[in-house]
Amino acid sequence: MGLCLTSGQVFRWSRNASDVWTGVDGPNWFRILQLEERLIVETNGQTSDLERFFQLHLSARDVIHSILSAGPELEPYLGFGRGLRVLRYADPVECLFTFLCSANNHVPRISAMVRHLATLGPPLEGLAEQRRFPGVERLAAVTEEELRSAGFGYRAASLPKVAALLRERGGDAYVWSLQDAEYEEARDELISLPSVGPKLADCIALFGLGFGESVPVDTHIWKAATRIYFPNYAGLSLTPQKYEEFATFFKKRFGANAGWAHQALFYEGLLNWRSR
DNA sequence: TACGGACCTTTC
DNA sequence: AAAGGTCCGT
């Protein structure tokens, strides 16, 4: 539980004093207290909203078992069984713009940028201090200057550009409709957006559209991949071709669970980092 | 195709 | 310097 809210999948969650987590996802806010195996939850939403967010319909035990039988080499890195999960955004538009903020960036700043965008959205039911992430229409009305002065850097130009293009394609409904496409098609649509490359497209496909076979390869995943699978590539940069090579290999190996297996590589990175 | 560098800004 | 990249030059 603790890990998955700080593992770079979502950026609107924070740990309050003690073991209480609060966060916003789509139209819902949550205040969660974890006691052993039980969650005490305060929310404006339904139980099903939280179940969806944590993808509780997927049994971590089953997924881990499946990953182990396909890739026993990941056994040392499945310690995430204690709570690291692949999360699912309620709103793919929120996911898309969140990950636009994430490119070549670090977590504290990503969170600040997402927080800024969220101030532009409609109020959340029953919670005064936070707002829902805005939709395409509102985001298309944001100016570059506004985002510049809010510290968005060069993304100040790309975000409104993407919003305008999305609006041309049908706005929120277009983004939501990508959930019903095949993974490859959805990914291609996303990559056709400026500032969205393979990595962001795969993050959006995995966390926002629910494509479990998606494998986002960032610099940390790439380093883990070279340690475990491609020692010959150690130290080499992640070119588009190597990205595809590894993603294809990993998808073939783990199928619909590739996105979860990829979390094991993230965990390997954590262990590797801690051991230094 | 495959590298190098630029791009905004903050943080380690 | 590096940051969970992308794009545009060689």
**pLDDT tens for each residue of A168-183:** 999 999 999 999 999 9
The pLDDT tens digits for A194-208 are 999 999 999 999 999
At residue A2, the pLDDT reads 56
CA of residue A240 to C1' of nucleotide C8, angstroms = 15
Higher pLDDT, A213 or A275: A213
Q: Which among A103, A104, A119 has a CA at the least distance from the CA of A12?
A: A119
User: Is A242 noted as a catalytic residue in this protein?
Assistant: no
Averaged pLDDT, A59-73: 93
Kind of pairing between the strands at A123-124 and A38-43: unpaired
**CA of A238 vs C1' of C10, distance in Å?**
19
Enumerate long-range contacts of A217-225, CB under 8 Å, 24 or more apart.
Answer: A217/A243, A217/A246, A217/A247, A220/A266, A220/A269, A221/A262, A221/A265, A221/A266, A221/A269, A222/A246, A223/A269, A223/A272, A224/A265, A224/A266, A224/A268, A224/A269, A224/A272, A225/A250, A225/A265
| Strand B contacted by A232 CB (< 7 A) | no
DSSP-assigned letters across all residues of A167-214? HHHTHHHHHHHGGGS-HHHHHHHHHTSTT--HHHHHHIIIIIS--TT-
Is residue A1 predicted with pLDDT exceeding 70? no
Here the tokens at position A224 are 């883990």
A185, A229 Cβ separation under 8 angstroms: no
Catalytic site residue from A161, A199, A251, A252: A199
Q: Are A225 and A177 in contact (CB under 8 A)?
A: no
**pTM, rounded to two decimals:** 0.96
pLDDT digits (tens, 9 = 90+) for A244-253: 999 999 999 9
Q: Is the model's pLDDT at A184 over the cut of 60?
A: yes
Nearby residues of A44 by Cβ (< 8 Å), 6 or more positions away: A27, A28, A29, A124, A125, A126, A127
Q: How far is CA A166 from CA A45, A96, A120, A140, A159, in A?
A: 28, 11, 18, 9, 11
pLDDT at A3 over 60: no
What mean pLDDT is reported for chain A?
92
Longest dimension (CA), chain A: 54
Q: Examine the pLDDT at A34 and tell me if it is beyond 60.
A: yes
Give the pLDDT band (50/70/90) at residue A18.
Answer: confident
Q: Which tokens is A72 given?
A: 């026993």
- With bands split at pLDDT 50, 70 and 90, how would you rate the model's confidence at A73? very high
Which uninterrupted H or E stretch holds A62? Answer: helix A60-70
Percent of chain A's residues with pLDDT above 70: 96
Residues 85-124 of A with CB under 7 A from strand C: 102-107
Nucleotide with minimal C1' distance from the CA of A222 is C4
Please give residues of chain A from 165 to 194 whose alpha-adjacent beta carbon (CB) lies under 7 Å from any atom of strand C.
194
Q: pLDDT (tens digit, 9 = 90+) per residue, A91-123?
A: 999 999 999 999 999 999 999 999 999 999 999
**pLDDT at position A177, please?**
98
**What is the model's pLDDT at position A275?**
65
pLDDT category of residue A82 using cuts at 50, 70 and 90: low
